[in-house]
């Protein structure tokens, strides 16, 4: 007679327990056990409990390969899900083997914990084309169709719904919408955040947003003006250091360019039967001796002409304001469609589905990656309808639903692997030395911390590069990402090596990069003139013809503001699991457990450093503080 000791852990979140019958069958190289009910005296699987059981077999089963867990209804029981964390099986030979599950199990469901395709996700998840030329998505139409362990828990859903209700009440209690366009010159109303509302017209604050607001990935160092942007020395000499010149400042590395050429020619949506205007503009910035990034020239369309003048800070105030607003309108759409939705949400979904299809749950990379994928499919499946569907909030932008899809197509076709790796991205844009660039400073430190952690884990499980290449499940994961995320575009770069850098890029994207482009939306977009997805009027073609009424007529009305800005915000700042927290004990070896502790310690040190730095700043940069970064794309 052989005895197997089973230690079964139920999750500690609300509603995790069950009254249903739980059965276990063990499979080994020498045979299998009988189907055995786990039943002690009293309640067995209440929330947060660890219960032990003994399973007897006539002979040892040999090397243990698989544990099959089944959940059958208890008479008159009303619950239908159980959060099964893990089972540790101690064999007659004294080996303690961890079989992690960490998922919700529905009534009547069977779960096989083994070294194959884990939870049969390969069979469950199928790829689907959302739109030609865009990353592929999971096949589910509704979040309720997703497996329970990937959906928001009941508690999490309740929290989100409550937060939405509270924020909507607060939104209307403070009369934000009704007062939004009153007295635009005399900002005395309670608009959040107050700083943006007070300083949005100032050029130095405008420039700083291209470094440390919601879209820090667009400007680049300019060593030579594009031929279609004919800025002359005479135009800008008043805005440069006395005695200097545009050419000298370019040679010093003090001139930077924003160029939205990928938007050029995309048809805008129609409004009241007439097409709106979208400006694929260019903006020239100068880093002045005070280390402030100042806009010094704006051209609103790609091709210069008499009807497309170059606007300057010396132009009439409302002309210059309108020029900046149209640049920010294009930038807001580029931010939401490309840098936020596609480069974080959509690619995160690709990384997630590929992992669920490729890795078994006992694979060390699955254990490391899954906490960073936890809620991604749920939030994306919901968001595709509420935000970016044909009737979603972002379809009411100047480009509309079809225009945003085309913008994403164009961007994906030009996306390279190096552009997704922050160190190479910064070098490629020539932004290594520009001061007061907190996204870069905090981001590079985070990148290095993540990379050190990933390298330690990879080197622990893989003795050499050849072992990495021999891992068919890892190679399958990378191949699926290349095929379904980047659509097999060989020009996008090499996704095969080094393994540690690739995994670093994935974790950084779904944590830090998502936080950088997501967390500041309310801060910078709640004051609509600072960054509107929708502008009604065409930009000026002749200087000196605009006034403050022109600006008011250009901005969206109250109803459009509610649609465009009310929907995305209710749970933007709801932190589910902070970066680096691994609430589920998936690793059973001491070494990776220690690596996680060291990873968390490094994140904590960086958090303290950023908090100290921010205490000295007029406008703190908090988005890459690890304590405020979500562990997965979940908001």
- Per-residue pLDDT for 433 more than 90? yes
pLDDT digit string (tens) for 321-334?
999 999 999 999 99
Secondary structure class of 385 (helix, strand, coil): helix
SS3 192: coil
Query: Measured between alpha carbons, how far is 111 from 101 in angstroms, rounded to an integer?
Result: 9
Q: Give φ, ψ of 43 to 5 degrees.
A: -65, 140
Which residue has tokens 């994306």?
380
- pLDDT for 634: 83
What per-residue confidence (pLDDT) applies to 210?
98
Both structure tokens of 462: 């893989």
Tell me the pLDDT tens digit for each residue of 25-55.
998 888 899 999 999 988 889 998 999 999 9
What's residue 73's pLDDT? Answer: 66
Q: Count Cα neighbours of 379 within 13 Å in the Cβ-side half-sphere.
A: 24
Tell me what the pLDDT averaged over the chain comes to: 87
The domains found in the chain, sorted by start residue, are 2-114 (2.60.60.20)
Burial 381-412 (b: 16+ CB within 10 A, else e): bebbeebbeeebbbbbbbbbbebbbbbbbbbb
Examine the pLDDT at 171 and tell me if it is beyond 80: no
Residues in the chain: 635
The distance between the two most distant Cα atoms of the chain, rounded to a whole number of Å, is 95
Q: Which residues are annotated as a binding site for Fe cation?
A: 340, 345, 514, 635
Task: Give the HSE-up count for residue 238: Cα atoms under 13 Å, Cβ half-sphere.
Answer: 8
Q: 0.75 cut: is pTM over it? A: yes
Band of pLDDT at residue 497, cut at 50, 70 and 90 = low
Confidence of residue 164 (pLDDT cuts 50, 70, 90): low
Label residue 14 by pLDDT band (50, 70, 90).
Answer: confident
Please say whether the beta carbons of 133 and 346 come within 8 A. no
Rounded CA-CA distance 320/309 in Å is 11
pLDDT of residue 156: 61
Gap between the Cα atoms of 497 and 41, Å rounded: 54
Which residues on adjacent β-strands are paired with residue 55?
4
Query: Binding-site residues, please?
Result: 17, 39-40, 80, 340, 345, 514, 635
Q: How far is CA 129 from the centre of its chain?
A: 20
pLDDT band, residue 152 (cuts 50/70/90) = confident
More confident residue, 84 or 303: 303
Burial of 252 (0-12, 13-18, 19+ CB in 10 A): exposed
Residue list for the binding site for Ca(2+): 17, 39-40, 80
- Determine the Cα–Cα distance for residues 219 and 205; give it in Å rounded to an integer: 15
Q: Please choose, from the candidates 222, 129, 157, 176, the residue with its C-alpha nearest in 3D space to the C-alpha of residue 378.
A: 157
The two beta strands, 127-128 and 255-259, are unpaired
Alpha helices in 178-219 (DSSP H): 194-199, 203-212
Residue 278: which of 301, 303, 259 has the closest Cα?
301
Taking the C-alpha atoms of residue 532 and residue 171, their distance in angstroms, rounded to an integer, is: 18
User: Distance between alpha carbon 609 and the CA centroid of its chain, in Å?
Assistant: 23
Q: Compute the distance between CA of residue 604 and CA of residue 532 in angstroms, rounded to an integer.
A: 36
Residue of 619, 555, 572 whose CA lies nearest to 182: 555
Nearest CA to 178 out of 189, 187, 194 is that of: 189
Between strands 81-90 and 36-37, the pairing is unpaired
Can you read off the two tokens belonging to residue 286?
Answer: 């100068």
Residue 231 has pLDDT above 50, yes or no: yes
pLDDT digits (tens, 9 = 90+) for 273-310: 899 999 999 999 999 999 999 999 999 999 999 999 99
What is the model's pLDDT at position 492?
83
pLDDT digits (tens, 9 = 90+) for 174-212: 444 444 444 443 333 333 478 999 999 999 999 999 999
Q: Which residue has the higher pLDDT, 53 or 149?
A: 53
The whole-number pLDDT of residue 113 equals 78
E-strand stretches of 169-262 = 220-221, 255-259
CA distance 350 to 18: 33
Position 407 scores a pLDDT of 97
137 in Cβ contact with 377 (< 8 Å): no
């Amino acid at each position: 007679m052989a005895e197997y000791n089973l230690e079964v852990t139920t999750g500690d979140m609300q509603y995790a327990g069950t009254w249903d019958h739980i059965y276990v069958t063990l499979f080994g190289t020498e045979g299998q056990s009988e189907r055995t009910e786990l039943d002690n005296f009293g309640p067995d699987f209440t929330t947060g409990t660890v219960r032990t059981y003994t399973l007897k077999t006539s002979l040892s089963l040999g090397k243990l390969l698989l544990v099959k867990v089944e959940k059958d209804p208890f008479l008159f029981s009303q619950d239908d899900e159980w959060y099964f964390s893990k089972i540790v099986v101690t064999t007659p030979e004294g080996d303690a083997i961890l079989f992690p599950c960490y998922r919700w199990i529905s009534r009547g469901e069977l779960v096989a914990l083994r070294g194959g395709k884990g939870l049969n996700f390969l069979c469950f998840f199928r790829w689907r084309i959302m739109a030609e030329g865009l990353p592929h998505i999971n096949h589910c139409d509704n979040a309720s169709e997703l497996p329970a362990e990937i959906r928001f828990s009941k508690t999490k859903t309740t929290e989100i719904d409550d937060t939405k209700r509270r924020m909507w009440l607060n939104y209307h209690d403070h009369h934000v919408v009704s007062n939004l366009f009153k007295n635009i010159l005399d900002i005395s109303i309670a608009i959040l955040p107050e700083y943006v509302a007070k300083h949005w017209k100032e050029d130095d604050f405008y420039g700083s947003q291209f470094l440390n607001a919601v879209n820090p990935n667009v400007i680049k160092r300019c060593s030579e003006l594009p031929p279609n942007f004919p800025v002359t020395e005479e135009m800008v000499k008043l805005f440069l250091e006395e005695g200097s010149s545009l050419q000298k400042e370019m040679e010093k590395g003090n001139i930077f360019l924003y160029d939205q050429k990928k938007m050029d020619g995309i048809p805008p949506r129609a409004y009241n039967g007439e097409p709106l205007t979208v400006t694929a503009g260019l903006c020239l910035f100068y880093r002045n001796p005070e280390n402030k990034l100042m806009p010094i020239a704006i051209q609103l369309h790609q091709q210069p002409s008499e009807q497309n003048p170059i606007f300057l800070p010396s132009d009439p105030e409302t002309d210059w304001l309108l020029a900046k607003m149209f640049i920010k309108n294009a930038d807001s759409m580029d931010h939401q469609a490309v840098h936020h939705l596609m480069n974080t949400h959509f690619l995160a979904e690709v990384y997630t589905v590929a992992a669920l299809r490729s890795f078994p749950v006992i694979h060390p990379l699955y254990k490391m990656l899954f906490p960073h994928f936890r809620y991604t499919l749920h939030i994306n499946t919901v968001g595709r309808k509420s935000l970016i569907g044909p009737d979603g909030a972002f379809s009411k932008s100047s480009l509309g639903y079809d225009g945003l899809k085309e913008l994403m197509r164009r961007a994906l076709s030009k996306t390279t692997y190096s552009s997704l790796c922050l160190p190479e991205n910064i070098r490629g844009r020539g932004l290594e030395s520009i001061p007061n660039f907190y996204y870069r400073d905090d981001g590079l430190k985070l990148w290095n911390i993540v990379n050190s952690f990933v390298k330690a884990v990879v080197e622990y499980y893989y003795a050499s590069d050849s072992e990495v290449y021999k891992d068919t499940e890892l190679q399958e994961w990378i191949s699926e990402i290349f095929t379904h995320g980047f659509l097999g575009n060989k020009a996008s770069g090499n996704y095969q090596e080094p393994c540690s850098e690739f995994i670093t890029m994935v974790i950084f994207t779904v944590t830090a990069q998502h936080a950088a482009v997501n967390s500041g939306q309310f801060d910078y977009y709640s004051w609509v003139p600072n960054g509107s997805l929708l502008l009604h009027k065409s930009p000026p073609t002749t200087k000196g013809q605009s006034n403050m009424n022109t600006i008011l007529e250009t901005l969206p009305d109250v109803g459009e503001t509610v649609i465009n800005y009310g929907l995305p915000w209710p749970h933007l700042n709801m932190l589910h699991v902070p970066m680096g927290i691994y609430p589920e004990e998936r690793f059973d070896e001491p070494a990776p457990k220690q690596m996680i502790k060291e990873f968390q310690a490094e994140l904590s040190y960086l958090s303290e450093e950023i908090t100290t730095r921010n205490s000295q700043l007029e406008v703190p940069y908090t988005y890459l503080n690890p304590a405020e970064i979500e562990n997965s794309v979940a908001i």
